[in-house]
Amino acid sequence: METTGPGYVRLARSGELARRSGEAAARLHRCDLCPRRCGADRAAGEMGECGIGAQAIVASYGPHHGEERVLSGWAGSGTVFFSGCSLHCRFCQNWDISHEVAGVGLDAAGLADVFLLVQETGCHNLNLVTPSHVVPQILAALDKAAGRGLTLPVVYNTSGYDALPTLALLDGVVDVYMPDLKTLDRRFAAGQLTAADYPGAATAAIAEMHRQVGDLTVDGDGLARRGVLVRHLVMPGMSEDTAKVLEWLAGFGTGTYVNIMGQYRPCGDAAHGACGADLRRRPSPAEMAAALAAAESAGLRRAGRH
């Protein structure tokens, strides 16, 4: 049996990917794909808590040169931005996509076309951005695209608000998991992410992702091939929480790859002063320095501003 190439290609050839696609599609009838488990009949066109029904809505796609270097390389990361979101972050920097659901609805064949177009541009990977609520649609499209020659490694670029049964469907499909770990503070999660259960859901999800693919591995060209890459956005006024996030991540070992991000800016409700004084400003240089110092203190040798 062939053992090289992305796992989803082998799963497609064996029929397993089609089986998982069907299992995922059945769950759309009473949707429980994300931790909200809203129960909407999305297969019949009802909108879930994510704002999406039966079809995935794609806002944009193409090479992205602003991702981490291990993803962007020299040819770009092949991003596919999905509209809608299981979270409702009040400071979201992609408000028009996540909250206003801008984009074009595509069936599995149309989404497969998008994946193949990304490959044709020469991108290093297929980077699925905000995919948690459209896993059935993604699996169906991957099954079709694999039969038409798709071989790009798959990056699952997620908020971290993922359900374990849904991640089980992705075992062997996803090459690189790239979750956020936004916060471990339930009160902040309830008020600003509108999901008090985010810390527990995200930590459980990241543990499962790590079980599936392990630490991030990079090839001789400096490109990510398999593993977990965690993002943590430093929030103003949340230095203590950031330190707890980094300490928790260090529990997987010093080789955990963490991007400590400093690009928070007030957007969405935060831009209109509705989220408190701290979220109306950017993180200070001192807060960024404290985050990097916390990573060093936790022993995370692969953490930094990537």
For 31-80, write each residue's pLDDT tens digit. Answer: 999 999 999 999 999 999 999 999 999 999 999 999 999 999 999 999 99
**Cα–Cα distance for residue pair 133/49, rounded to 1 Å:** 9
Q: Looking only at Cα atoms, what is the longest distance across the chain? A: 59
**Cα–Cα distance for residue pair 250/159, rounded to 1 Å:** 19
**Cα–Cα distance for residue pair 139/143, rounded to 1 Å:** 6
Q: Mean pLDDT in the chain?
A: 95
Nearest CA to 167 out of 213, 129, 125 is that of: 213
- Region 247-252: what's the mean pLDDT? 97
Q: 244: phi > 0 → left, psi -120 to 50 → alpha, else beta; which?
A: alpha
Length of the chain: 306
- Provide the pLDDT for residue 228: 98
Stated as kind and residue range, the H or E segment containing 217 is strand 217-218
Phi, psi for residue 69 in degrees, rounded to 5: -60, -35
Stated as kind and residue range, the H or E segment containing 17 is helix 16-27
Q: Let me know: does 175 contact 152? Beta carbons within 8 Å.
A: no
CATH of domain 7-46+56-304: 3.20.20.70
3, pLDDT greater than 60: no
What are the pLDDT digits (tens) for 4-33? 679 999 999 999 999 999 999 999 999 999
**Cα–Cα distance for residue pair 18/255, rounded to 1 Å:** 35
- CA within 13 Å, CB half, 216: 26
Tokens at 194, concatenated: 């509108």
**Cα–Cα distance for residue pair 96/137, rounded to 1 Å:** 21
In angstroms and rounded to an integer, the radius of gyration of the C-alpha atoms of the chain is 18
Phi, psi for residue 132 in degrees, rounded to 5: -60, -35
What are the pLDDT digits (tens) for 184-240? 999 999 999 999 999 999 999 999 999 999 999 999 999 999 999 999 999 999 999
**Cα–Cα distance for residue pair 125/178, rounded to 1 Å:** 13
**Cα–Cα distance for residue pair 97/202, rounded to 1 Å:** 22
- Provide the pLDDT for residue 4: 63
